[in-house]
Amino acid sequence: MTAPDDRHAAWRERLHQIIFEADTPAGRTFDVTLLVAIVLSVLAVVLDSVGYIQASYGPVLRAAEWFFTVLFTVEYLVRLAVVHRPLRYMVSLYGLVDLIAIVPTWLALFVPGAQTLLVIRALRLLRVFRVLKMAGYLREARVLGAAVAASGRKIAVFLGAVLTIVVIVGSLMYVVEGPENGFVNIPESMYWAIVTLSTVGYGDIAPNTPLGKLLASFVMALGYGIIAVPTGIVTVELANAARATVVTTQACPACGRDGHDPDARHCKFCGAKL
C-alpha cells in the first residue's frame, strides 16, 4: 500500500510537470490554456477603458476581470505549492511577473483605478516561446537578456556621464536665456537639455539669444554621438553572449527556473537535482 507521503510526492511531481513543463500533452494543454486566458484578461482590461464599451458591458468586463484574477491567484498559489523552494520561485523573473499580474485587482479594493495596471499580465505571454517550442527564439531572447545584463555597468557609467552633461548644459542655458525666454529655473532647463540631447525636440522651450542657439546646436550635435554609445556597448555584449551554450526549457522542480544546459543534472540557480 502506498504511503500518504509517497502519494503526496507523486501528485506534487505530476502537478509540477503539468504547470512548469511543456514537454507533455497535459503540460502543453495547460500552458496554451493559460496563454489564452492571459490574452482574454488583457483584452477585457483594454475594452473596459473604452467609454461606450464600458457603458454597455461594464459589469460583464469587471466580472471577467475578477474571474481571471481569482483564476491566476489560484494558479500562482499552486505554483508555490509544487516547487520545493517557493521563495526562490517568488523572487525569480517569472515568479515576480506572476505575482504582479494578480496584485492590481486586489489593490483596486483600496486604490480605485489600480486594476488598469492589469495590462502588465501581457508580460506573462513571454512563456509562449517555451510553450510552443520556439527554441531558436528562446535562445535569442536569452542572448539578448544576457547582453543587456552584461552591459549594465557600462550603461550605468554612460548614463552617469549623460546626467552630468544635462546638469551642466541645463545650468548654462538657465544663465544664458533666463526666465524671460522660458527657462524659468534649472530643472526646467535640464528638461530642455534632456529633450534636446535625446534628439526628440518637443519645441515647447527654445532658446532665443545667439549664445543660447549656439549652445543648443552643440547639444544637438552631441546627441547624435551619444546615441551610438549604448548601441555599441550592447552590440559587443551580444556577440559575446551569442557564443554561449544552447539551453533547454526544462524547469527546475525546486525553484521553477529554466535555462539550463542540455547536459545539466543540477539547477545552476539553486543546485537542486533536475
Contacts 24+ apart (CB under 8 A), 16-19: 16/82, 16/83, 16/251, 16/253, 19/75, 19/78, 19/79, 19/82
Q: What is the pLDDT of residue 134?
A: 52
47, exposed or middle or buried, with CB in 10 Å at 0-12, 13-18, 19+? middle
* Rounded Cα–Cα distance for residues 36 and 44 (Å): 12
**131 sits in which H/E element:** helix 128-131
Query: Cβ of 246: how many Cβ atoms within 10 Å?
Result: 11
Radius of gyration of the chain (CA): 25
Written in H, E and C, the secondary structure of 218-256 is: HHHHHHHHHHHHHHHHHHHHHHHHCCCCCCCCCCCCCCC
Q: Which of 241, 226, 71 is nearest to 158 (CA)?
A: 226
**Is pLDDT above 90 for 16?**
no
Q: What is the mean pLDDT of residues 139-148?
A: 73
The answer to whether the CB of 118 falls within 8 A of the CB of 41 is yes
Residue 111 is given by DSSP the state: S
Mean pLDDT, rounded, of the chain: 80
Percent of the chain with pLDDT over 90: 18
Express each pLDDT in 156-185 by its tens digit: 888 898 999 999 999 999 999 989 988 999
Q: What is the mean pLDDT of residues 36-47?
A: 86
Query: Cβ of 180: how many Cβ atoms within 10 Å?
Result: 9
pLDDT classification of 150: cutoffs 50, 70, 90? confident
pLDDT classification of 1: cutoffs 50, 70, 90? very low
| pLDDT top residue among 77 and 6 | 77
Note the Cα 13 to chain centre separation in Å: 29
